[in-house]
Amino acid sequence: MRIFVDMDEVVADTYGAHIELYNKKYNQQLTKEKCMGGDVWEFVPQEHQQYIHEQNRQRGFFANLKVMEDSQEVLEQLNKEHEVYIASAAMQFPQSLEEKSDWLDTHFPFITWEYRILCGHKFVLKGDVLIDDRSFNLDTFDGRALQFTSPHNIKTNGYERVETWKEIGEKLL
């Protein structure tokens, strides 16, 4: 089985990083629970929204992301039994390419460079399963689309939803 796995908000906690950086800069107490149903920028004052938007373009942002719970263990098992690719729309933030590759080397060394797709749009992906948090990526996928739950997509319907990496393991192993 060929499985494509998104990076941001699926194996790397970008949402939490946005909140952490915002709280540090503006001395706030924003939490994921306070941001349910939208992107982080939607829950901050208008004069702070640009700061959130610019974080993805800052050097170092993608280098220091936290790993999503249980993703390493489950992906390592999946990788032993299936053809697993990390597929990230990294071209949107070109400075992220090296940081994402280095981050994967550190946290997912068993997914080697040959199985990393840093692309623009994901409509080019052809395989059996796509695990992604963004519905617009799942919309164009012909295989089984698993939507990984993130605060921004809790109101999204129409896809098979997965809440945790353990649940992904139960479905695919």
pLDDT in tens, 9-37: 999 999 999 999 999 999 999 999 999 99
136, pLDDT greater than 90: yes
Within 13 Å of residue 159, how many CA atoms lie on the same side as its CB? 28
Q: Decide if 39 is catalytic.
A: no
> In the chain, where does the domain assigned CATH 3.40.50.1000 lie?
2-13+65-172
30 burial (CB, 10 Å; 0-12 / 13-18 / 19+) is middle
Average pLDDT over residues 122-138: 97
94, pLDDT greater than 90: no
Q: Decide if 6 is catalytic.
A: yes
Give phi and psi for 2, each to the nearest 5: -95, 120
Q: Which helix (H) or strand (E) holds 145?
A: strand 144-148
68, pLDDT greater than 90: yes
Give the dihedral sign, CA 170/2/73/102. negative
147, pLDDT greater than 90: yes
- Decide: helix, strand or coil at residue 131: strand
Q: Pick the catalytic residue from 8, 13, 132, 133.
A: 8
Please give the C-alpha separations between residue 157 and each of 55, 67, 95, 127, 148, in angstroms, as whole numbers.
28, 26, 33, 22, 12
- Decide: helix, strand or coil at residue 153: helix
Q: How confident is the model at residue 169 (pLDDT cuts 50, 70, 90)?
A: very high
At a CB cut-off of 8 Å and minimum separation 6, what does 93 contact? 56, 57, 62
| pLDDT value for 92 | 86
pLDDT in tens, 34-67: 999 999 999 999 999 999 999 999 999 999 999 9
Model-level pTM?
Answer: 0.96
Q: Pick the catalytic residue from 6, 13, 132, 133.
A: 6
| pLDDT value for 9 | 98
| pLDDT value for 143 | 98
155, pLDDT greater than 90: yes
Q: Which CATH class is domain 2-13+65-172?
A: alpha beta
Per-residue burial over 114-132, b = 16 or more CB atoms within 10 Å of its CB, e = otherwise: ebbbbeeebeebebebbbb
Tokens standing for residue 102: 């280095």
| pLDDT value for 43 | 98
